[in-house]
Structure 1
Amino acid sequence: MNLRLPMFLISCFTFSNALAAACDVYTHSQSDQVPVVEQHTCYTYEGVPSDAIDWSCSNENKDMTNTKKTKIAQCAGDYTASCKATLTQEALANPHATAKVPGHAGAMLPSNAGVVTYHYAAQDLKQAKIDCEKDGGQWTWQSAQ
């Protein structure tokens, strides 16, 4: 049996996943009763290995929102705003969990570990800004607001 083709396909898949250092996220509500702050975001981690994003970019979701996550090489540059925050152990599984207890360094993460979330489309970017800053993040508008 010729193993070249299966090995080639496996190596292509492995290589393409190795390049995936960002997570593109599309979210919409499953109910009109559940508001959605974010509709399209992309996030990336800084100061940690690129495969650290694997767990948080899985499509497991138990919220009242329908979320599709896709690992990509990098986030697109045409974002409206961004939130840069300290990466915590919890944020490795949940990119919204960026708050850090003052004086607590967190377990086994480099001091320069961070998460950057890029916002492309949202019903309420002002609320996303409030959430970012409340959790200790730094909000930046890309265009005039």
Structure 2
Amino acid sequence: MGILAEAQVQPDTSLQVALGIGINFHISKFPEAIAHKAGSLFTETPTITRSELVAKIWSEFHRLSKRNFFEIYKSHSFVLGKTVEFEENKVLYKGTAVDLTPSGQLVVHLEDGQTKILSSGEISLKNGRDGRPFLFFSFILLGV
């Protein structure tokens, strides 16, 4: 799964945000180059159609947007509390995702005791379903 958000801030402080969600719906085998970090919602015959999934996501998004979206998003995060890996300046880091800042940045406590705050990029979630890591893209810009 991947989440991509692009924001454009105008000099008059207006903000435009475009969000995109990519879900590997039904892929039983990935190319070798990404097999170690990619996962699929269904690895066997799906129990719903792609259209049904999109309709359900759309329905839930509109229902949740009436409440505090950020707190709901944070409480349902599948990343927080999990072991993650990410690369920064060609160095591989491993730690625990512990929080999201009010602006949507991911807070990671590293194994060596340091804390990193990630604004964007790619992390691998090491406790993925079927023993495969999830791929998570965070380009979140909240509270701007």
TM-score by length of 1: 0.23
TM-score by length of 2: 0.23
The structure where strand makes up a greater share of residues is 2
Which one scores higher on RCO, CA 8 angstroms, separation ≥ 6?
A: 1
